[in-house]
Amino acid sequence: MHKQPSKKYRPFPPVSLPDRQWPNRVLKHAPIWCSVDLRDGNQALAVPMNVGQKLELFQTLVKCGFKEIEIGFPAASNTEFAFNRRLIEEKRAPDDVWLQVLVQAREDLIERTVESLVGAKKAIIHLYNSTSPAQRRVVFGKSKEEIVGVAVRGAQWIKDRLPRLKGTEVMLQYSPESFSATEVEFAKEISEAVMDVWQPAPKRKMILNLPDTVEVAMPNVYADQIEWICRNIKNRGSLIISLHTHNDRCTGVAATELGLLAGADRVEGTLFGNGERTGNLDIVTVALNLYQHGIDPKLDFKDLNSIIDVYERCTGMTVPARQPYAGELVFTAFSGSHQDAIRKGLNEWKSDRREYWDVPYLTIDPTDIGREYREVIRVNSQSGKGGVAYLLESEFGIELPKDMQREFGPIANDEVDKLGREVSGTELKKMFWKEYIDRTSPWEYVSFKTESENGQVRCRGKFAHAGGPAAEFSGEGNGPLAALVHGFGTIGVRFEIANYSEHALSSGEEAIAIAYIQIKHADGKSRWGAGVDTNIELASVRAVLSALNRS
């Protein structure tokens, strides 16, 4: 790296807007959405989508609720042109969906583009040319006046050909490409020159798209640029101001949200941020950010997993594990304290049904986008008792008492640490069974019978001990467990029951019960045990033996 960046780089100049209004505004409704997956996203693929893949992705975008979809650059290739024609001729686009096409300000490309739209129900023709100082100097070698001339000629060529689209409702869109690096005064000048050709009106608006083509400044600067244009451009009521952000500084979402506060009406982007360089705006993230704040995003992501499947199959791209909302791990907590808070929050939500979602660490309910609670908590060596308890309960119905969680959590973590990886719920259950249920030494169950009389319970127990002769004893008490404790005392094994709980593990005629028992010895030391049986009384007896065996 350059040791003195100040000698090689310079800060981007701010916009003079001392009375900016956007910081005090609040978003209250969703913008107009336009997907550019099939053009900007497709253009960024090493292997562009074929017609079949584009059709599948188009249908998915329609199902999500997009009403404006940029379907391609029809003058760029025969594949792009053929895709446009199939959509139109096979009537694959619903009547309320606008088909948007992109074209440079070149007459031959405009001719081919208009040809591709004949017969469409609704069409947006998106004209662009680059406007930044670097583009003017390096790419075109033209003055500002000459660059304005390029845009005006392109606008006129499109206007001249509109009669050929009889029967098609046409909306016109202009982008001063590289707007984010263009002087706002010049962006206004060239946009107004195009407006003079197209003559938009409040009932026949045009889209003025102001792209953050390359992020060259902080998102607040982009917001200032948008507000400056909204406040200074002529005939604002005849315009739909549109945003098109990229993610070079990893602030595409922030730039879009601030741009909406600054007065924009519309947002262009892609699913999961696919696009050139670091990608386009991730529309899923912005839409679900609105949803999180109680705003209907007007897009349907309730089955996000299936959308991910189509996206990955069609584009060959993958959704990163940490992608907001969509990533495999975004509703996952490995930290023990996080797991405990999530578990308690989910239990509160299930029992109280609070008016508003307020679960620690989960910005939205995963089920709202087709995810499941079991995905929320996973366990590795960094996990605590809360995560272990959650998996056992959510996957197997094993509801460990809190004190038992404190005992088993470290035991499980030691085992997981030895493995050096994440473990499944099934593996945790095996650890639990090994530690508690399968303990048969030194005490092993042989038989246990009880009878009641006048509120007293008598028991007769027979238990093998350390591989030797079975120990037999009798005991009595106000219940089976009290009788069992008394019986053990008669053979010199003294303890008391400190905690007890039980519940069913399954339903039906052969329902299995699980009992959890904590015993306390005369020296004050205590241990938990657990036992399972179709008979709850015998499950409790086995739990006592488990605790004794662990002592």
Residue 255, in any domain of the structure: yes
The per-residue pLDDT for range 129-158, each reduced to its tens digit, is 999 999 999 999 999 999 999 999 999 999
* CB neighbourhood size of 171 (10 A): 18
- Three-state SS string over 457-501 comes to EEEEEEEEECCCCCEEEEEEECCHHHHHHHHHHHCCCCEEEEEEE
304, 282 contact by CB (below 8 A) = no
Return the C-alpha torsion angle 436, 441, 442, 443, nearest 10.
60
**Token match 């680059």: residue?**
130
Residue 327 belongs to a domain: no
What's the pLDDT at 2?
76
Asked whether residue 10 is domain-assigned, the answer is no
In tens, the pLDDT along 381-415 reads 777 778 888 889 988 999 999 999 999 999 998 99
**pLDDT score for 105:** 96
Q: Which residues of the chain have pLDDT under 50?
A: none
**Same structural domain for residues 165 and 130?**
yes
- Looking at residue 105, which CATH number applies to its domain? 3.20.20.70
- 208 φ, ψ to 5°? -110, 105
Asked, for residue 21, whether it belongs to a domain, the answer is: no
Residue 384 is predicted with a pLDDT of 76
Instruction: Pick the last residue of a domain from 315, 347, 372.
Output: 315
Of 182, 148, 137, 145, whose CA–CA distance to 15 is shortest?
182
Domain boundary, last residue among 255, 280, 315: 315
pLDDT at 469: 84
500 and 410 both lie in a single domain: no
Angle at 333 between CA 330 and CA 334, to 5 degrees: 130
Are 526 and 412 members of one domain?
A: no
Q: Are residues 55 and 127 in the same domain?
A: yes
Question: Are 68 and 100 in contact, with CB atoms under 8 Å apart?
Answer: yes
CA distance linking residue 351 with residue 353, whole number of Å: 6
Residue 15 lies in a domain: no
266 within domain boundaries: yes
For residues 304 and 383, membership in a common domain is answered with no
Is position 12 within any domain?
no
* pLDDT tens sequence across 92-116: 999 999 999 999 999 999 999 999 9
pTM reported for the whole predicted model: 0.80
169-177 and 122-130 strand pairing: parallel
3-state secondary structure of 116: helix
Give me the sheet containing 471-477, strands edge to edge. Answer: 443-453, 456-465, 471-477
* CATH number reported for the structural domain that contains residue 484 in this entry: 3.30.160.270
305 and 378 both lie in a single domain:
no
Please tell me the predicted confidence (pLDDT) of residue 340.
85
Same-domain check for residues 131 and 268: yes
Q: Other CB atoms closer than 10 Å to residue 454's CB: what's the count?
A: 4
Instruction: Please report whether residue 213 resides in a domain.
Output: yes
Please indicate, yes or no, whether residues 431 and 453 belong to a single structural domain of this protein: no
Between the alpha carbon of residue 376 and those of residues 19, 90, 338, 345, 521, the distances in Å are 45, 43, 10, 12, 39
Domain extent, residue 372, equals 336-435
Regarding whether 306 and 205 lie in a shared domain, the answer is: yes
Picking from 315, 348, 383, the residue at the C-terminal end of a domain is 315
Whether residue 63 is found in the same domain as residue 148: yes
> What pLDDT does residue 476 have?
95
Same domain, 164 and 254: yes
pLDDT at residue 168, rounded to an integer: 97
Task: Give the chain's domain count.
Answer: 3
Number of residues written out for the chain: 551
- Tell me: do 79 and 206 sit in the same domain: yes
How confident is the model at residue 253, as a pLDDT? 98
